[in-house]
Chain A
Amino acid sequence: MKQRILFSTLPAALVAAAVLLAPLPSAGQAKAKAAKATKAAPAPKGPDISGIWQVFATSTASSVEPHSPALGIQAGFGVITDPADGKIPYRPEARAKQQDNFKNRAKLDPLNKCYMPGVPRVMYLPFPIQILQTPKTVVLLSEYAHTTQNIFLTGQHLDGLELWMGDSRGRWEGNTLVVDVTQNNPDTWFDASGNHHSEALHVVERFTRSGPDTLQFEATFDDPKTYTRPWTMRLTLMRHQDPNYRLLEYDCNAYMEDEGGAK
């Protein structure tokens, strides 16, 4: 209890420290910057993948592996293209954990606590995604719990963090946006069947415009603590056709409070 309270006061203390450390700019610096002429912003690189997209294969949210129906689980063929059997190449103890997760999914699924879904679960939840492109970033906005995946086309990976949505660095390889996602925390699942990973997870996502109204999404997963080898999923997102379509809201945590708070 005490520890938690300390956590919440820590940021205030850090701010106070930051105030004392703030450097002073000189007037000369400001003037020098003012003298620089501005130039027109460049257009975004790469093909246009912007728009509002959604996965048609809704069973992917139930499980990324081939699976039978169950309570709250829609049957599906899975989306794993490698290995050829369509199953996640778990280490034995990791498979046991997945099976335990599945049995206790009502209690353990992080989405039932309204946590951010993580990467790449956000891609195939039954909520639309809007992609926006600017020269330095590709932003992915999900209607689910206003979750964002901010893909930076610049800079280096952060280090030593665990983030719900990871740290995404993207680059264009021909017509494909390749996104390297690290710094994933171990608390997210891939689907409602308890498919999981550790903090060692490294995801490489590939976005390719495969047609006027389709976007191919591929992701390769490497996590030696959990899997015996890397594995890959592939799925297709469809473009919403109504030009006036827009993301609405699913503010999960607020509705959970309406129903009596976190359990």
Chain B
Amino acid sequence: MKSTTQKSLLSLVVALTAAVVMFLAPTPGSGQDAPAKGGPPGGKGGVAPGGAKAGGGKGAVKGGAFGPDGPYYQAPENIGGPPARTPDGKPDMTGYWTPRMNRAIFEIQGKQGAIVDPPDGMLPYTPAALAKKNDLKKNHMFDETEAHCFQSGVPHSAYQQFGYQIQQTPSFVVLMPEYAHSYRVVPTDGRKHIPADVKLFMGDPVGHWEGDTLVVETTNQNGKVWLDMEANFTTNAIHVVERFTMVDKNQINYEAIITDPTIYTRPWKIAGNLGRHDDPNYELMEFACHEGNIDLQHYPESEGGTAKAKAK
């Protein structure tokens, strides 16, 4: 399978190069030694230009517009006039979007996270849940779920850094993250959730329109994903309500309220926005995450792989 492995790695590099192309789009600023934070095996790591403001309505960040405290990715501030409408009168979100949620992709909480409630920006863990998170962080970082090419789950996929394509039809809004060719099909036809026994990485989203806001309620997640790269885990009791509101043709305001009484003392909320990709010819590329990552079997455990050291 050697040739396959090489091709897989090539595919991954190609996909990541596409991500680079995304970053090549005009940005409000440039020229920054972006702080490198180690990506997981599989090469999901990487850094991007900072912008002038943090997402999520937070104030200016310390360290300057493009300093190490700046947001992970700031899509162009391109005011596009009022949103176009689909034939059935809804705001048309069809296109390619880049999440601007500060650095939630690395750590959802804290000063570089995307949490706007509680006001301190911290996850309202129960003591037992906090102990579990600390143990995961200290002893089980190899379990970081995107490093294994698992789908992101919700809300993680909404701020996953490679962005996503949105497809909108009268019955469905489909979010297609480039990462691991994942997708979420959100029905807006009034249907109910699937039976609670069915648990999925991406859960069961059910949407409806409240005026011009798409409201998506996601249940049925399997609790096998993390919210970030800092061991902030989830359980299969997680319940998420997201709101997507187009403020102009090129920006969608995003917020999500997350409830899980098994690990949090209260609901919490993240906020940020999505910027439309500037290049009219932009297209989603294939992101063959697992195909490249399967090569982990050849990495020794000392380098984050799964191969046992050979006995001498």
Interface presence of A126 (CB below 8 A) = no
Interface presence of A40 (CB below 8 A) = yes
Whole-angstrom distance between the Cβ of B191 and the nearest chain A Cβ: 5
Interface presence of A133 (CB below 8 A) = yes
Whole-angstrom distance between the Cβ of B59 and the nearest chain A Cβ: 22
Would A12 and B46 count as touching, CB distance under 8 A? yes
List chain A residues, Cβ under 8 A from B85: 40-41
Give the docked Cα–Cα distance between A229 and B85 (Å).
Answer: 48
Whole-angstrom distance between the Cβ of B164 and the nearest chain A Cβ: 11
Give the docked Cα–Cα distance between A137 and B45 (Å).
Answer: 30
Complex: chain A residue closest to B176, CB-CB: A148
Instruction: Number of A interface residues at 8 Å Cβ cutoff, please give it.
Output: 77
Interface presence of A147 (CB below 8 A) = yes
Would A261 and B297 count as touching, CB distance under 8 A? yes
B residues 74-118 in Cβ contact with A at 8 Å: 76-87, 92, 94
Interface presence of B296 (CB below 8 A) = yes
Interface presence of A74 (CB below 8 A) = no
Whole-angstrom distance between the Cβ of A113 and the nearest chain B Cβ: 6
Q: What string of 1s and 0s marks CB contacts (under 8 Å) between A125-157 and chain B?
A: 000001011111101010001111010100100
Would B7 and A8 count as touching, CB distance under 8 A? no
Interface presence of B181 (CB below 8 A) = yes
Interface presence of B281 (CB below 8 A) = yes
Contact with A21, one of B24, B46, B84 (Cβ below 8 angstroms): B24
Would B26 and A132 count as touching, CB distance under 8 A? no
Give the docked Cα–Cα distance between A150 and B96 (Å).
Answer: 13
**If A11-B13, A115-B290, A148-B176 touch, does A33 touch B78 (CB 8 Å cutoff)?**
yes
Among the stretches A57-65, A158-166, A212-220, the one at the interface with B is: A158-166
List chain B residues, Cβ under 8 A from A246: 185, 187, 194, 204
Q: What string of 1s and 0s marks CB contacts (under 8 Å) between B176-216 and chain A?
A: 10001111010101011010001011101000000000000
A residues 94-145 in Cβ contact with B at 8 Å: 110, 113-116, 130, 132-137, 139, 141, 145
Interface presence of B260 (CB below 8 A) = no
Would A7 and B43 count as touching, CB distance under 8 A? yes
Interface presence of B272 (CB below 8 A) = no
B residues 271-307 in Cβ contact with A at 8 Å: 281, 283-284, 286, 288, 290-291, 293-299, 303, 306
List chain A residues, Cβ under 8 A from B303: 5
Interface presence of A37 (CB below 8 A) = yes
List chain A residues, Cβ under 8 A from B61: none
Complex: chain A residue closest to B194, CB-CB: A246
Would B46 and A37 count as touching, CB distance under 8 A? no
Contact with B180, one of A34, A115, A139, A146 (Cβ below 8 angstroms): A146
Contact with B181, one of A15, A19, A50, A116 (Cβ below 8 angstroms): A116
Would B34 and A19 count as touching, CB distance under 8 A? yes
Would A14 and B17 count as touching, CB distance under 8 A? yes
Interface presence of B53 (CB below 8 A) = no
Whole-angstrom distance between the Cβ of A249 and the nearest chain B Cβ: 5
Would B7 and A162 count as touching, CB distance under 8 A? yes
Contact with B291, one of A8, A36, A42, A116 (Cβ below 8 angstroms): A116
Complex: chain B residue closest to A31, CB-CB: B79
Whole-angstrom distance between the Cβ of A110 and the nearest chain B Cβ: 7
List chain A residues, Cβ under 8 A from B1: 113
Q: What string of 1s and 0s marks CB contacts (under 8 Å) between B136-151 and chain A?
A: 0000000000001111
A residues 243-263 in Cβ contact with B at 8 Å: 243-244, 246-249, 251-254, 257, 261-262
Give the docked Cα–Cα distance between A44 and B27 (Å).
Answer: 32
List chain A residues, Cβ under 8 A from B43: 7-12
Would A147 and B29 count as touching, CB distance under 8 A? no
Would B306 and A7 count as touching, CB distance under 8 A? no
Interface presence of A18 (CB below 8 A) = yes
Would A24 and B185 count as touching, CB distance under 8 A? no
**If A141-B174, A146-B182 touch, does A41 touch B281 (CB 8 Å cutoff)?**
no
Interface presence of B16 (CB below 8 A) = yes
Complex: chain B residue closest to A141, CB-CB: B183
24 contacts between A and B (CB under 8 A): A1-B299, A7-B12, A11-B45, A21-B30, A22-B23, A22-B24, A30-B76, A34-B80, A35-B81, A36-B80, A39-B84, A40-B87, A42-B87, A113-B294, A115-B4, A116-B286, A132-B172, A134-B94, A141-B185, A145-B290, A146-B151, A155-B281, A164-B291, A187-B7
- In the complex, besides A23-B26, A113-B294, 12 extra interface pairs with C-beta distance below 8 angstroms are A12-B45, A15-B48, A18-B24, A19-B34, A24-B26, A41-B86, A115-B291, A139-B167, A162-B10, A246-B194, A257-B148, A261-B306
